[in-house]
Amino acid sequence: MAVLEIKTAGEIVLKQTAAPVKKIDKRIKKLLDDMAETMYATEGIGIAAPQVGVSLRMIVVDVENKRYDIINPEIISREGSNVDVEGCLSCPDLFGEVERAEKIRVKFTTRYHKEKEIEAEGLLARCIQHEVDHLNGRLFIDIAKNIQKGKPQREGQVK
C-alpha cells in the first residue's frame, strides 16, 4: 500500500464529474487500499478517488472503526437535515458549516462485486454525502457557511 498525494482545491480533477467504475479489478482494489492508507495517514474519516487524482466513482469512509469501501455510490433516500462543521483534506486549514441530510440510504457495489444498501445517520451520513459530492465535482467550501481559517474544534471532522 502507499500514501498518495492529496489534490487540493484549484486542481481540475476536483471539479470534474467522476466516471463510474466499470470493472473491479486488481488496480481498483489497490487504489481503494491506497486511498484508505492515505486517509488514515492524514487522520481523515473519508476520502474520494478524485482527491488522489483519479476521476472514478469510489470512496472510502471510516467513521467509527468500520471501513467501508464504496464503489459507484448512489444516495437513494434522504431524511431530515442538520448543520455541522466540516473540513476537507483537499481544503487544508479551512472549516465551515454545512447543511446535510440527517439520515440517508446509499446503494453501492462492494470490492467483492456485491450490490449493497446501507442506512447511515449522523456523522457517517454526513461523511458519505461529503464524499459523494467530491464525485460530482463539489467541495464543501462551495456550499458551506461561515467558512473560517484554522482547524475545527472537535476531532473527526476533517474529510
Residues with catalytic function = 131
From the list 3-11, 33-41, 67-75, 83-91, the region that binds Co ion by CB under 5 A is 83-91
Least distance from C-beta 112 to Co ion, angstroms? Answer: 26
Binding to Co ion by residue 100, rule CB under 5 A? no
Q: Which 22-81 residues touch Co ion, going by CB under 5 A?
A: none
Q: Which three cell numbers stand for residue 93?
A: 486549514
Q: What is the DSSP letter of 19?
A: B
Please provide the distance, in angstroms rounded to a whole number, between the alpha carbons at the two ends of the chain: 20
Q: Which CA distances in Å does 21 have to 58, 60, 119, 122, 123?
A: 7, 14, 22, 27, 26
Cβ nearer to Co ion, comparing 28 with 132: 132
The answer to whether residues 141 and 149 touch, using CB atoms and an 8 Å cutoff, is: no
Name which of 24 and 71 has its Cβ closer to Co ion: 71
From candidates 18, 28, 70, 88, binder to Co ion by CB under 5 A: 88
Q: Which is nearer to Co ion, 24 or 127 (CB)?
A: 127
Instruction: Kindly state the DSSP code that residue 24 receives in the 8-state scheme.
Output: -
Between CA 45 and CA 89 the distance in angstroms is 10
CB of 113 to Co ion, least distance (A): 27
As measured in angstroms, the least distance from the Cβ of 57 to Co ion is 15
145 - beta bridge partners?
97
Distant-in-sequence, close-in-space partners of 25: CB < 8 Å, separation ≥ 6? none
Question: Which of these segments, 52-60, 85-93, 116-124, 149-157, binds Co ion (CB under 5 A)?
Answer: 85-93
Q: Judged by CB under 5 A, does residue 159 bind Co ion?
A: yes
Binding stretches for Co ion (CB under 5 A): 88, 159
